[in-house]
Structure 1
Amino acid sequence: MTPRRPISPEGLRKLQEEMDRLIRTERPAVIKEIEIALGHGDLSENAEYTYAKEKQALIETRIRDLQERLAACEVIDLNNRPKSDRIVFGCSVKIEDVDNGDQKIFTLLGQDEADISKGIISIDSPIGKALIGKEVNDVVEVKTPGGLKEYEVLEVS
């Protein structure tokens, strides 16, 4: 059985939009490219045909991946969750590096929504796992490639 993957309604919508685009736009376009390339004759030396078939394989692989991800999604409505002082899925968290005082703000969401450039981390990431269930003033230890890091939770919202 595939483990459930928590996701926000917005994250689910984005996955569904990508799947829809691949099925309705990308797949028919690559089929058309293959048809055109087939019209050019000898397939053994037909780079357009080879490229289009490779592109088709990538599209079909991504569609299957999205189907599996969508089937495993567990949508968590961020607007209807109970008020809590503990860090849970969907929370924004302000943390401080205990060693150097650097502060960071993260929002904890699912794997499919993680984007560090936007301050969104997965609850399955090392820091996400360490933060889940913690409260303000708690200190968490996170194993990083650079060694063990300690962070203090400053705010939870």
Structure 2
Amino acid sequence: MNKVPMTVVGAETLRKELDFLKFDRRPKITEAIATARELGDLKENAEYHAAREEQGICEARIRDIEGKLSNAQIIDVTKMDNTGKVIFGTTVTILNLNTDDEVTYRIVGDDEANFKLNLISVNSPIARGLIGKNIDDEVTIVTPGGVTDFEIVAVEYI
């Protein structure tokens, strides 16, 4: 299976969630199932069925996280020399040449992306347009809002 790029922060976040699910949530669900079993007839026991459903959701999420971590290629840009080139994991400040608005994005993996926090997926149109470019380059990017011209103002490996 192909390796999926992930930042150090993204991998750590997934590991924390995995630990929480395995060592906190899973035991509580098991306890809830045991308590619900003691209430009697399992066919009509809503607490039992709810706990079993929650168990299924929790186990599916555990498998999902374990799969993502096993296929992750963790990239730490802080250990690389800043060449001014936009690569996965870099923090990029761009200037919209049409509106003079300046915005800073960090290019991250699909699971880490959060546009509200300016974390954009490596597969997003903006990131694809920026990857491989250098500081002071002008790029034209086709976004859902239309074609926009940007200038790369800063590239940070943080």
Name the stretch that deviates more: 62-71 or 45-54: 45-54
Q: Deviations over 1:67-126 (max 9, x none)?
A: 110011112222221221210122111112232222111111222322223222221222
Aligned-partner SS, 1:101: coil
Aligned-partner SS, 2:73: strand
1:30 maps to which residue? 29
1:105 maps to which residue? 104
1:132 paired to 2:122: no
1:118 paired to 2:117: yes
2:40 maps to which residue? 41
Tell me the CA shift for residue 6 of structure 1. Answer: 1.7
Tell me the CA shift for residue 20 of structure 1. Answer: 1.3
Q: Within 2, Cα distance between the matches of 1:75 and 1:57?
A: 29
1:148 paired to 2:147: yes
What one-letter code is carried by the residue in structure 2 that aligns with 1:103? E
Aligned-partner SS, 1:104: strand
Tell me the CA shift for residue 138 of structure 1. Answer: 2.3
Q: Deviations over 1:18-47 (max 9, x none)?
A: 111111111111111111111222233322
Unpaired runs of 5+ residues, structure 1, are: none
What one-letter code is carried by the residue in structure 2 that aligns with 1:41? G
TM-score, with normalisation over the residues of structure 2? 0.88
1:90 maps to which residue? 89
What one-letter code is carried by the residue in structure 1 that aligns with 2:137? D
Count residues in correspondence: 156
Identical amino acids, percent of aligned pairs = 36
Name the stretch that deviates more: 11-20 or 143-152: 143-152
What one-letter code is carried by the residue in structure 2 that aligns with 1:31? T
Q: Within 1, Cα distance between the matches of 2:53 and 2:98?
A: 49
2:50 maps to which residue? 51
Aligned-partner SS, 2:79: coil
